Amino acid sequence: MMSKKGFLFTISVIFFASTLVIFSQTYLSDNILREKLVLNNEKAGVQPFVSDDVACDIYRIVGLDFDARANPVLGKVYLSFHDYIPKDVYVPSAVSSYSAFLDANYFPRVAGDTSLDVSNLSDGTVEIFFNQIFGYYYNSTEREAKIFQDNGAALTRIDLNIDVSNDLNGFEWITSNTGSVAVNIFYSDDSNSADFTTTINPLQESRLRLKYLDGNVDIVLGYVSSKTNSFAVDSNTPASIEYDLILEYSSSPSSLPIAFNSRMDYSNPIMDANTFVRHKN
């Protein structure tokens, strides 16, 4: 017959073993929870990189080279563009094909659930925002490109080099409003070159029309589509246009991240995000 000491010893062993089991289970559960938290945080950290990758690809499809430099001492920002009209590809179709590729091949390999809405890029227009201060607009159908400011930045200088694959038949200032903004335009084509130097009022429209046998190219300065301190190239000729543009503004943003007018939805167990596709310039 078991003695009282033996019985107490058995109970103590069982209690100790049970405590070890409970402690081990708690420790294991805590480790699993921590591991899930770490993994989910890592998934959340993936989203900005995915957005940046997608933005870089769309940037290449659009075919726009852009650079921004700020001089905080002078309170100036310099926007540089190298652009083509028309683009090398039909942007709406190219963006739609790229979105289908992402859905089929890229997003399934990304942690979390990701989707991309490119409807605002595949409808015939492209809109790009730079820190919500400046914007770029390109219309594939109307063969028009615009750069505008949307936050009170004052235009102070315009330098434009433009090359057109057509022979110039004449030019005319349709509207011209002199002011304080210095404008330097160098024009070239296969047979001609010309310099246009003037000043404009950035609050009013000044329009230089380049004339060809099969249409015109309008360079619009100052007031463009209800936006002041802006710039546009508007073409109704089938000729190809290539231009380099520098716009100088009185403004001093700390940075000019690029955001496309397309939205990326991303979700995982600890976060949901819905943002513009962004690329840090």
pLDDT of residue 6: 53
- d(Cα 264, Cα 247) in Å, to the nearest integer? 30
Q: Indicate if the pLDDT at residue 260 is higher than 50.
A: yes
Contacts of 40 (CB under 8 A, 6+ apart): 268, 269, 270
Q: Indicate if the pLDDT at residue 21 is higher than 60.
A: no
Tell me: the pLDDT tens digits for 128-163?
888 778 899 999 888 999 999 877 789 999 999 999
Give CA angle at 42 (37, 44), nearest 5°.
Answer: 95
- With a pLDDT cut of 70, the percent of the chain lying above it is 76
Nearest to 189 by CA among 219, 160, 161, 221: 161
Q: Are 167 and 189 in contact (CB under 8 A)?
A: yes
Q: Pick the range with the lowest mean pLDDT from 61-70, 169-178, 181-190, 260-269.
A: 260-269
- The values of phi and psi at residue 259, to 5°, are -130, 125
Average pLDDT, the chain: 81
Q: Are 212 and 235 in contact (CB under 8 A)?
A: no
- With 0.85 as the threshold, say if the pTM is over it: no
